[in-house]
Structure 1
Amino acid sequence: MLDDRDRKILALLQADADLAVTDIAEQVALSVSACSRRIAKLKDDGFVERVVARLDRRRMNLPTTVFVIVKTSHHAADWLDGFRRALADIPEIVEVHRLTGNFDYILKVVLPNVEHYDVIYKRLVQRVELFDVSAYISMETLKREIALPTSYV
């Protein structure tokens, strides 16, 4: 069971994983050693999956986002395995969700420009059979947050 200090530590780590333990300890009113032990326990308990660097997409020349809606007529395990492998082999596809409703999957694709979508489309459909594919270009990102709310644990 997490307490308010643990939740605050997680919120601080989400905002800046490079934050010094001394700064975190000060903000949650703990000694550095007690704070360090809590951080280690949060990691050991799986609350922190991993620590990564968040790159600037514009500086990486990937300013364009395309959402791809996929319908398939295949739902067998072997097709899904092939689909997963195809997705894993295309680094521009950064997020994929299986959906309820009229569509089967939504893919988030990051690209240097809209024209490059055709390259990704061809790589995907050459690997797996899809029933219908529709692409939607994101005109503007209104919210882009990776931090999770900490109040539910």
Structure 2
Amino acid sequence: MHPKLDSMDRRILTVLQKSGGISNAELSARVNLSPSACHRRVQRLESDGFIRDYVALLDPAKIGLSTVVFVEITLSGQADELLEAFERDVARVPEVLECHLMAGTADYILKVIAESTEDFARIHRQKLARLPGVQGMQSSFALRTVFKTTALPV
């Protein structure tokens, strides 16, 4: 664990990861700390970069994005310029939720969200296949999400 985090910081971060929209009064009650001390700690956690942002997590199915696809990308080379161009351009594809540089058989793994298999076929053809240096792609469709969290173990 990070040496700057004490047990109270960890409790605050645990609650905020699951309920980021709660008021300071509710947060302070849940972690058993005075509102002013809680507010100071949250401000310090924000300024020290432990808390990067606050977001609303949407239900993908409710907005019509029920297809999750993991795409392994193999590039034609490993030159820095090619990797940088790929990373720059893939970040501009709104359907790509995550992109990870890998060690192993694939150069990158992407997590892609789509409306349907037909919609993914369009994304694959019009966007992913046109990214710089793409030599090959292997796609795996998620049948069902068993477990998903954004909360890190603190």
Of residues 71, 90, 94 in structure 1, which corresponds to 2:93? 90
How far did residue 124 of structure 1 move? 2.1
* Equivalent in the alignment of 2:136: 132
Are 1:119 and 2:131 an aligned pair? no
How far did residue 129 of structure 1 move? 2.7
Q: 2: distance between equivalents of 1:72 and 1:126?
A: 12
Q: 2: distance between equivalents of 1:71 and 1:46?
A: 33
Q: Deviations over 1:46-87 (max 9, x none)?
A: 100111111110111101001101112311121112212221
User: Which range moved further: 83-92 or 108-117?
Assistant: 83-92
TM-score (norm 1): 0.93
Could you list the runs of 5+ residues in structure 1 that have no partner in the other structure?
A: none
Q: Deviations over 1:88-126 (max 9, x none)?
A: 221001101111111111110000001111221122222
CA contact 2:90–2:131 (8 Å) conserved in 1: no
Of residues 104, 108, 119 in structure 1, which corresponds to 2:107? 104
RMSD across aligned positions (CA): 1.1
* Equivalent in the alignment of 2:153: 149
The share of aligned pairs that are identical, in percent, is: 35
Paired amino acid for 2:78: H
Aligned length: 150
